[in-house]
Amino acid sequence: NIFLAASENDLETVKQHISAGADINALDEHGYSCMHAAASYAHLTLLDLLVAHGGDLNLQDHEGDTPLFVVETAPMAALLISCGADPAHRNKEGKTALAHHREEDEFPEVIAYLQTVTPGESEQVVLPNGSTAAYTAAGDATVQVDAEEAMHALSQEQRDQIDALMRQSQEDGVNRDAALSRIIESALLG
């Protein structure tokens, strides 16, 4: 099924399901979606494919959690937000993705990044290397960054590398998520 293919990052099978008319924004019996799988497992190429075919970056599961709630890496969180995911969205418990990640306390780099984009939230965070960082989001307005603006933040060389990797992946179906993640992480973390 398309959900299993998405979680396994099987691009060819996902493409077949899309061609056959599968609803990529559908939830399985557990409330999980292809979008949530791509975000959770940091399948960058899959996420790009899903978004290109109408994937909803703010799709809610049964708890009202969007893909941003299940992200496990800062580069994937940044990509989701740069493409239009809403960091101010609140689930059925009234929590933002940042509040959810703070409660789970598993991915400090995701927490640190989300603090920079979630309106009105700040906290001291201990990063994996032991250093601490304080982040405060800008004001009370929703932060919305479009993909074009995010691409301008990358160097021309990084944009060219991303374009080449995406083209190669679409042509041969080979997963290049690790390489894409390294480029995005380099741009974000310097």
Q: What is the per-residue pLDDT across 31-89, written as a single tens digit (0 to 9) for each? A: 999 999 999 999 999 999 999 999 999 999 999 999 999 999 998 999 899 888 999 99
The answer to whether position 60 is within a domain reads yes
* 107 belongs to a structural domain: no
How many other CB atoms are found less than 10 A from the CB of residue 7? 18
Would 119 be classed as within a structural domain? no
Q: What's the pLDDT band for 162 if we cut at 50, 70, 90?
A: confident
In terms of pLDDT, which residue wins out, 141 or 174?
Answer: 174
| pLDDT score at 136 | 40
Bridge-based pairing state of the strands 122-126 and 132-136 = antiparallel
Residue type at 133 in one-letter notation: A
Residue 171 lies in a domain: yes
Handedness of CA 24, 28, 31, 33 (dihedral sign): negative
Q: What pLDDT sits at residue 152?
A: 52
Does a structural domain hold residue 114?
Answer: no
Cβ burial, residue 139 (10 Å; 0-12/13-18/19+): exposed
pLDDT of 176 > 60? The answer is yes
Q: Which domain holds residue 163?
A: 2-93+144-189
Cα 154 to chain centroid distance, Å, stands at 17
Q: Which two tokens stand for residue 56?
A: 């909803």
Q: Which residue has the higher pLDDT, 137 or 155?
A: 155
Q: What is the pLDDT of residues 87-134, one digit of tens each?
A: 999 999 999 999 999 999 999 999 988 988 887 654 444 444 554 444
70 within domain boundaries: yes
Q: Higher model confidence: residue 23 or residue 163?
A: 23
Whole-angstrom Cα distance, residue 13 to residue 26? 16
Structure tokens at 98: 């940042």
Residue 147 scores a pLDDT above 70: no
* 171/70 Cα distance (integer angstroms): 29
Q: Which residue has the tokens 């741009």?
A: 187
Confidence of residue 154 (pLDDT cuts 50, 70, 90): low
Residue 178's CATH number: 1.25.40.20
CA distances from 115 to 29, 52, 78 (A): 32, 28, 12
Flag whether 121 is in a domain: no
* pLDDT exceeds 60 at position 137: no
pLDDT exceeds cutoff 90 at 23: yes
Determine, yes or no, domain membership for 6: yes
pLDDT tier for residue 184 given thresholds of 50, 70 and 90 = confident
Residue 170 CA to residue 93 CA, distance in Å, equals 39
Give me 144's structure tokens: 């919305």
Going by C-alpha positions, the residue among 125, 61, 56 that lies closest to residue 93 is 61
pTM of the model: 0.68
Tell me the C-alpha distance between 159 and 44, whole Å. 15
The residue with greater pLDDT, 167 or 144, is 167
